[in-house]
């Protein structure tokens, strides 16, 4: 949103919450209703690339519409290229537009589990960069567009310089902010931000924060995304904002509220 850019320039601390579409939505809606009182700058809904595109378009945009029109929240919809033709993308964007959404996190997506390698869908998009370009072409400035960044590398690309070049291409194509993959190594993140700045990336970079609620799933996720976990990472969280000119935190809530609230309380970011 416009506010994100303004807050960033004025060094105002803020945060956002990420949700995924659950099987049954009522519990999550009750939770969103409570969490909106904490005043997140925006909430976003992930794109579950596992299902059929038609059904995903409907379930995701329904949730975006509920958050936007039902709860009056600024919303950001994730959208991936996996399994999506240009027509599917058009349908998703048009429903998001009608649902009051003003922001898209444009992603390539991962390969479906049954495929080893990622492949573009016929009449679809190859890279997130191409999706960014398309959204800009079609909708002008209506949507703010965010993209994904990888402080610890991407499973398909471990060369940091190359990854930063690809990140810059997405921003040059019309994206205006970056949300990172989760990480627990703050020093590495800050070095990476410096490197992005050296390479001419000027847009807000938002750290993605995955609170730990369950040890087994934490370990599984960290392995899957190839994330390094230094022993002292929790205590470092509090210093991250001053050091890296980081003013906005993005919480992967996994649709639960408690651990996010604990962190926000510790950082004194929720008005009581």
d(CA 201, CA 189): 15
For ligand FAD, the binding residue among 128, 145, 175, 263 (CB under 6 A) is: 128
Over the window 205 to 224, marking each residue x when it contacts ligand FAD by CB under 6 A and - when it does not, the resulting string is ---x----------------
Q: Does 154 sit near ligand FAD (CB under 6 A)? A: yes
Restricting to residues 61-80, name those near ligand FAD by CB under 6 A: 78, 80
Choose, from 6, 18, 156, 169, the residue flagged as catalytic: 18
DSSP states along 117-160: S--PPTTS-SSHHHHHHHHHHHHTTSSEEEEEE-TT-BTTB--H
* Nearer residue to ligand FAD within complex by CB, 228 or 265: 228
The helix, strand and coil proportions of the chain, stated in percent and rounded to the nearest 5, come to 45, 15, 40
For ligand FAD, the binding residue among 66, 95, 102, 129 (CB under 6 A) is: 129
Active site residue 87: no
* Nearer residue to ligand FAD within complex by CB, 50 or 268: 50
DSSP states along 201-255: --S-EE-EE-----HHHHHHHHHHTT----TTHHHHGGGHHHHHT--EEEEE-TT
Q: Give contact residues for ligand FAD (rule: CB under 6 A).
A: 46-47, 49, 78, 80, 107-110, 127-129, 148, 154, 156-157, 163, 166, 169-170, 179, 181, 208
Residues recognised as catalytic: 18
């Amino acid at each position: 949103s416009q506010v994100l850019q303004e807050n960033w320039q004025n060094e105002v601390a803020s945060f956002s919450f990420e949700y995924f579409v659950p099987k049954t939505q009522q519990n999550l809606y009750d939770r969103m209703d409570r969490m909106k009182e904490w005043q997140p700058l925006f909430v976003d809904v992930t794109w579950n690339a596992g299902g059929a595109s038609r059904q995903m378009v409907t379930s995701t945009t329904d949730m975006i519409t509920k958050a936007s029109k039902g709860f009056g929240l600024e919303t950001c919809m994730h959208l991936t290229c996996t399994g999506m033709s240009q027509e599917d993308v058009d349908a998703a964007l048009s429903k998001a537009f009608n649902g009051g959404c003003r922001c898209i996190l444009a992603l390539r997506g991962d390969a479906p589990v049954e495929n080893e390698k990622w492949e573009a869908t016929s009449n679809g998009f190859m890279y997130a960069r191409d999706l960014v370009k398309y959204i800009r072409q079609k909708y002008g400035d209506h949507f703010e567009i965010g993209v994904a960044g990888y402080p610890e590398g991407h499973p398909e690309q471990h060369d940091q310089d190359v990854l930063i070049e690809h990140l810059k291409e997405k921003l040059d194509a019309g994206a205006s902010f970056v949300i990172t993959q989760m990480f627990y190594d703050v020093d590495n993140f800050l070095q990476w931000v410096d490197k992005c700045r050296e390479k001419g990336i000027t847009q807000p970079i938002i750290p993605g924060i995955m609170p730990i609620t369950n040890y087994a799933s934490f370990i599984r996720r960290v392995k899957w995304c190839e994330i390094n976990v230094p022993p002292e990472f929790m205590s470092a969280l509090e210093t991250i904002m001053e050091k890296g000119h980081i003013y906005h935190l993005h919480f992967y809530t996994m649709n639960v509220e408690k651990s996010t609230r604990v962190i926000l309380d510790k950082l004194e970011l929720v008005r009581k």
